């Protein structure tokens, strides 16, 4: 990719995050974002159809990064290894927490974890033969993914290491 295109996309992304921290997505205009990114509106429209398209692409990229963090580990050899998934998921949530909060503030908060759960299940069911798209495996994975996420987001006043350790120990005990 051309360096100018990368710089433009970074400028657009940075401006979007700056604005998104201050206001809801429906209050952000292309004009305002373009001015902050120091580009013209036509340049914005070369890359995105509207603000919602930009947001969706940023959201999809965030979910891909989280799944890639998990994919790198490749540790799910048996069902009892599932607690290791929680540990990696915990680290990813901690690592991307500010970005998650910015993209999914307010009523959109649950949309993120629902999308992440869908994509993680898809990855797990296609990659690890010991997991099947059965009601039991779906329940276990929903509990792990949603539980870990909400434990971290709702208890963020606690030390990150304590959150990671506590959720990992919990899932370890549940999978024995």
Quick one: pLDDT at residue 174?
A: 67
Residue 10 has pLDDT above 90, yes or no: yes
- The pLDDT of residue 176 is above 60: no
Cβ atoms of 75 and 30 closer than 8 Å: no
- Token output for 169: 């120990």
CB neighbour list of residue 132: distance below 8 Å, 6 or more residues apart: 125
- Domain residue ranges of the chain, discontinuous segments joined by +: 1-48, 51-174
The pLDDT assigned to 76 comes to 63
Q: What value does the mean pLDDT of the chain take?
A: 87
The whole-number pLDDT of residue 171 equals 78
Q: So what's the pLDDT on residue 14?
A: 96
- Position 45 scores a pLDDT of 97
1-48 has which CATH code?
A: 1.10.10.60
Q: Give the residue with greater pLDDT, 111 vs 108.
A: 111
pLDDT (tens digit per residue) in 27-65 = 999 999 999 999 999 999 999 999 999 999 999 999 999
Mean pLDDT calculated for residue range 86-90 = 84
Q: Is the pTM of this model over 0.75?
A: yes
Contacts of 48 (CB under 8 A, 6+ apart): 12, 54, 57
Decide: 34 and 7 in contact? Cβ < 8 Å. no
Quickly list DSSP for 65-130: HHHHHHHHH---SSGGGHHHHHHHHHHHHHHHHHHHHHHT-GGGHHHHHHHHHHHHHHHHHHH-TT
Higher-pLDDT residue of 128, 67: 67
């Amino acid at each position: 990719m051309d360096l100018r295109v990368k710089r433009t996309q970074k400028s657009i992304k940075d401006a979007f995050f700056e604005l998104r921290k201050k206001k809801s997505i429906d209050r952000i205009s292309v004009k305002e974002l373009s001015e902050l990114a120091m580009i013209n509106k036509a340049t914005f429209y070369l890359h995105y159809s509207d603000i919602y398209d930009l947001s969706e692409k940023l959201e999809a990229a965030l979910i891909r990064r989280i799944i890639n963090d998990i994919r790198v580990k490749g540790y799910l050899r048996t069902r009892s290894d599932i607690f290791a998934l929680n540990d990696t998921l915990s680290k990813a949530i901690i690592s991307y927490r500010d970005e998650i909060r910015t993209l999914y503030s307010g009523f959109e908060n649950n949309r993120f974890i629902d999308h992440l759960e869908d994509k993680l299940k898809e990855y797990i069911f296609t990659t690890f033969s010991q997991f099947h798209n059965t009601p039991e495996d779906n329940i276990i994975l929903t509990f792990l993914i949603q539980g870990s996420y909400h434990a971290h987001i709702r208890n963020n006043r606690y030390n990150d290491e304590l959150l990671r350790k506590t959720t990992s120990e919990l899932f370890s005990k549940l999978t024995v």
